[in-house]
């Protein structure tokens, strides 16, 4: 499996990380090195093996479905790069 | 005794020693704290403490002294410690050594740091680390490198303290604090502990709450103590562990008195030596250290048994699928909307450009690389080939350990790292995969969710510390700490780095 420049561009886009065109060939090469390393996993016979989910089988805790937290709008917004009128503010989303 | 000597002596105390002295009234927490603060002031060259909190420290120290005066204070009461920058601490910068969290002031306290605070321990500040805990040399930090207080004999090359908990390791080894929190996703407590001659415990997955700890790979991340001795690890761990309803993977199990389990008696215990950890090209020094460790445990009455963990070889490749996959998902939250850095936008830029520019500016190269690898292995068409296959291999790695334990093995002894600390910058030009090999002996433990501890047992030919790792059964950290205590007692490692900073 070899990653070309177009795939690297697509992955960067999916990850929402801006990568300049002139960096794409290096990025593709790095992906190839890492994926080459990962390819070893194909040697393992995993027929009939269930993917691991937890260290010891544990039933998730349950609790009553009720509000236990909230009412702290200022604290939620305290670290926002841009907050206005009690909301997070972002650039235009819909044309 | 001069004031300076006294301050060095106090900062050099173990947690156990300080606790006893505090309870006897021989020293106050304020004195201990001031001693550490003055050591920290003189240690900027180590790059360990990246946010110092002397006011908080002295306030907590005074409160601890009041509590001690009233009697019945917990073991960690009045003990000055450092907190890895990955833990959210209320009102104190917590940025996972990343530019993307610059200026972020948490409105809440992580469960682990809150437990330590409530036990009366004194936070001295936040400790350097690799960005988002991704790295093995502390060289990916936005704060710059943390530096190992150890140097090779007759050579002043700056060495890495390891990573990702490099600041924690450096601070404990240099006596800037009595203990520190670390986190370990693939070896990030144990490898730096080995590189700096201290003790580092990665507990069983689920033992310490992950709530309020910046997430890297949620199925692997686990917090643990980094200390000067095994006894200190037992004491500090006892204050960190326990069920937390805010972390659904936190185990609802009683936390025993780990310190009381340190008898040093390991007669009849079976210690396994996995043959797959005997890697090609392993330095003779590491091989020798390992054999000597096995001899020490045998002399202490344990039975040493050769065992096989056949899927060991596939642990690193499985890890480098699973960890980036989880990271790409966890780090999706850094989008410039709710906290942290937001890029300056150009005219006409919409929300997608905001995300892309913010993340390109905010994440360093290694974090970007892992997020993108994770995105790739999770993308349509590759999910089964990479991610699900890696999770199945992970199940096989865990089964290897299960079978060893079922066959009667109580603990497994391995080297902690394939080498001693290397020079800062030495691996910069290397392929990222070469750096990943640092975790070859530790990463299996995270994949299987087991507890593992690194104990310093010797030095290499250049005088640098080397450590051995013991791996225990799930939830049996007490037994594991006891085996580590026996190893520590037999090894008698007492070397300290000579102060150059």
User: What confidence category does residue B343 fall into, taking pLDDT thresholds of 50, 70 and 90?
Assistant: very high
Residues 450-469 of B with CB under 8 A from A: 450
- How many domains are there within chain B? 2
Residues B360 and B434 in one domain: no
Q: Do B210 and B247 form a contact (C-beta atoms < 8 A)?
A: yes
Domain boundary among B348, B372, B388: B388
Residues B236 and B376 in one domain: no
Query: What's the CATH number where B139 sits?
Result: 3.90.1300.10
User: What confidence category does residue B184 fall into, taking pLDDT thresholds of 50, 70 and 90?
Assistant: very high
Q: Is B392 considered catalytic here?
A: no
Residues 97-156 of B with CB under 8 A from A: 103-105, 107
| Averaged pLDDT for residues B429-445 | 85
- Which one is predicted more confidently, B375 or A69? B375
CB atoms within 10 A of CB A68: 8
In a domain, B32, yes or no: yes
In a domain, B302, yes or no: no
Q: Mutation target for A interface from B375, B449, B450, B477: give the one with most A CBs within 10 A.
A: B375
Residues B464 and B383 in one domain: no
Q: Given an 8 Å threshold on Cβ–Cβ distance, is B433 in contact with A37? A: yes
Q: Comparing C-alpha atoms, which of B230, B300, B306, B307 is closest to residue B268? A: B300
Chain A hits for B93, Cβ within 8 Å: none
| Averaged pLDDT for residues B472-476 | 97
Residues B371 and B436 in one domain: no
CA B266 – CA B214 distance, rounded (Å): 37
pLDDT (tens digit per residue) in B271-312: 999 999 998 888 899 999 999 999 999 999 999 999 999 999
Chain B hits for A46, Cβ within 8 Å: 389, 392-393, 396
SS3 B367: helix
Residues B220 and B360 in one domain: no
Q: Given an 8 Å threshold on Cβ–Cβ distance, is B357 in contact with A82? A: no
Residues 319-378 of B with CB under 8 A from A: 320-321, 328, 332, 335-342, 345, 349-357, 359-360, 363, 368-369, 371-377
In a domain, B500, yes or no: no
In a domain, B468, yes or no: yes
Kindly state the helix (H) or strand (E) to which residue A9 belongs, with its residue range. Answer: helix A5-14
Residues 76-95 of A with CB under 8 A from B: 76, 78-82, 88, 90-93
Residues B210 and B85 in one domain: yes
pLDDT (tens digit per residue) in B138-178: 999 999 999 999 999 999 999 999 999 999 999 999 999 99
In a domain, B317, yes or no: no
- Which one is predicted more confidently, B222 or A55? B222
pLDDT of residue B19: 98
User: So what's the ipTM on this one?
Assistant: 0.95
| Averaged pLDDT for residues B237-254 | 95
Residues B381 and B420 in one domain: no
pLDDT of residue A60: 83
CA distance A53 to chain B (A): 8
CA B480 – CA B411 distance, rounded (Å): 7
**Residue B6: pLDDT over 80:** no
Instruction: Say if A41 is an interface residue toward chain B (CB within 8 Å).
Output: yes
pLDDT of residue A58: 79
Residues 419-438 of B with CB under 8 A from A: 431-433, 436
pLDDT of residue A95: 66
- What is the overall mean pLDDT for chain B? 96
Using the Cα atoms of residue B39, residue B484, residue B453 and residue B237 in order, give the sign of their dihedral. Answer: negative
SS3 B223: strand
Q: Given an 8 Å threshold on Cβ–Cβ distance, is A40 in contact with B351? A: no
**Residue B457: pLDDT over 50:** yes
pLDDT (tens digit per residue) in A46-92: 999 999 888 777 788 888 999 988 999 999 999 999 999 999 999 98
pLDDT of residue A65: 94
DSSP A51: P
CA B286 – CA B304 distance, rounded (Å): 18
CA distance B70 to chain A (A): 34
pLDDT of residue B1: 44
Burial class (CB in 10 A: 0-12, 13-18, 19+), B309: buried
**B198 upstream amide cis, omega within 30 of 0:** no
- What's phi and psi for B51, nearest 5 deg? -135, 115
User: What confidence category does residue B45 fall into, taking pLDDT thresholds of 50, 70 and 90?
Assistant: very high
Q: Mutation target for B interface from A8, A17, A86, A89: give the one with most B CBs within 10 A.
A: A17
Range of the structural domain that residue B343 is part of: 336-388
| Averaged pLDDT for residues B27-39 | 98
pLDDT of residue A57: 79
**Residue B430: pLDDT over 90:** no
pLDDT of residue B4: 58
In a domain, B352, yes or no: yes
In a domain, B322, yes or no: no
pLDDT (tens digit per residue) in A26-56: 999 999 999 999 999 999 999 999 998 887 7
Give the pTM: 0.97
Residues B364 and B436 in one domain: no
Residues B480 and B361 in one domain: no
Q: Is B84 considered catalytic here?
A: yes
CA distance B67 to chain A (A): 31
In a domain, B306, yes or no: no
Tell me which residue in B205, B349, B372 faces A55 most closely, judged by beta carbons. Answer: B205
Chain A hits for B352, Cβ within 8 Å: 16
CA B208 – CA A62 distance, rounded (Å): 19
- What's phi and psi for B27, nearest 5 deg? -150, 155
**Residue B101: pLDDT over 60:** yes
Chain B hits for A54, Cβ within 8 Å: 249, 449
Q: What share of chain A is helix, strand, coil (3-state, %, to 5)?
A: 40, 5, 55
Chain A hits for B432, Cβ within 8 Å: 30, 33-34
Q: Is B2 considered catalytic here?
A: no
Q: Do B249 and A55 form a contact (C-beta atoms < 8 A)?
A: no
């Amino acid at each position: 499996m070899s990653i070309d420049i177009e795939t690297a561009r697509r992955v960067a886009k999916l990850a929402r990380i801006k990568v300049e065109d002139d960096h794409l060939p290096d990025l593709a090469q790095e992906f190839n090195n890492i994926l080459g390393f990962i390819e070893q996993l194909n040697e393992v016979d995993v027929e009939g093996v269930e993917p691991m989910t937890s260290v010891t089988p544990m039933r998730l805790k349950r609790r009553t479905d009720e509000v236990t937290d909230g009412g702290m709008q200022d604290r939620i917004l305290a670290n926002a790069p841009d907050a206005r009128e009690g909301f997070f503010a972002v650039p235009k989303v819909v044309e | 005794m001069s004031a300076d000597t006294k301050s060095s002596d106090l900062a050099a105390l173990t947690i156990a020693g300080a606790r006893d002295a505090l309870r006897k009234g021989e020293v106050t927490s304020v004195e201990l704290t001031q001693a550490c603060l003055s050591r920290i002031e003189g240690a900027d060259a180590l790059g360990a403490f990246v946010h110092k909190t002397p006011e908080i420290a002295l306030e907590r120290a005074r409160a601890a002294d009041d509590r001690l005066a009233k009697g019945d204070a917990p073991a960690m009461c009045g003990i000055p410690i450092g907190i890895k920058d990955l833990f959210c601490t209320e009102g104190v910068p917590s940025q996972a050594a990343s530019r993307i969290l610059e200026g972020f002031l948490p409105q809440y306290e992580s469960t682990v740091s809150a437990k330590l605070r409530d036990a009366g321990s004194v936070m001295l500040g936040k400790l350097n680390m690799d960005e988002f805990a991704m790295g093995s040399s502390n060289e990916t930090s936005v704060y710059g490198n943390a530096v190992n207080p150890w140097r090779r004999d007759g050579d002043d090359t700056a060495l890495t303290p390891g990573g990702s908990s490099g600041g924690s390791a450096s601070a404990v080894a240099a006596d800037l604090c009595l203990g520190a929190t670390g986190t370990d996703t693939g070896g990030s407590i144990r490898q730096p502990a080995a590189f700096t001659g201290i003790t580092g415990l990665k507990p069983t997955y689920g033992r310490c709450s992950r709530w309020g700890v910046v997430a890297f790979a949620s199925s692997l991340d686990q917090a643990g103590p980094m200390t000067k001795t095994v006894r200190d690890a037992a004491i500090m761990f006892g204050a960190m562990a326990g069920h937390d309803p805010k972390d659904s993977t936190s185990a609802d199990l009683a936390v025993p008195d780990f310190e009381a389990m340190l008898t040093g008696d390991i007669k009849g215990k079976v210690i396994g030596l996995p043959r797959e950890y005997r890697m090609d090209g392993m330095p003779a020094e590491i091989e020798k250290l390992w054999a000597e460790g096995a001899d020490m445990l045998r002399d202490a009455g344990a039975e040493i048994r050769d065992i096989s963990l056949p899927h060991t070889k596939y642990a690193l490749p499985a890890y480098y699928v699973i960890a980036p996959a989880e990271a790409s998902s966890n780090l999706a939250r850094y989008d410039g909307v709710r906290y942290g850095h937001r890029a300056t936008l150009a005219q006409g830029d919409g929300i997608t450009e905001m995300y892309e520019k913010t993340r390109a500016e905010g994440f360093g190269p290694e974090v970007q690389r892992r997020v993108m690898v994770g995105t790739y292995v999770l993308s349509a068409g590759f999910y089964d080939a990479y991610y699900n296959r890696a999770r199945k291999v992970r199940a096989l790695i865990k089964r290897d350990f299960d079978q060893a334990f079922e066959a009667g093995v109580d603990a497994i002894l391995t080297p902690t790292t394939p080498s001693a600390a290397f020079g800062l910058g030495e691996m910069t030009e290397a392929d990222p995969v070469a750096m990943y090999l640092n975790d070859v002996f530790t990463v299996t433990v995270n994949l299987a969710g087991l507890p593992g501890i690194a104990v310093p047992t010797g030095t290499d030919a250049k005088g640098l510390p080397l450590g051995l790792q013991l791996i225990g059964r799930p939830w049996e950290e007490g037994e594991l700490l006891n085996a580590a205590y026996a190893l520590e007692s037999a090894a008698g490692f007492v070397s300290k780095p000579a102060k150059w900073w």
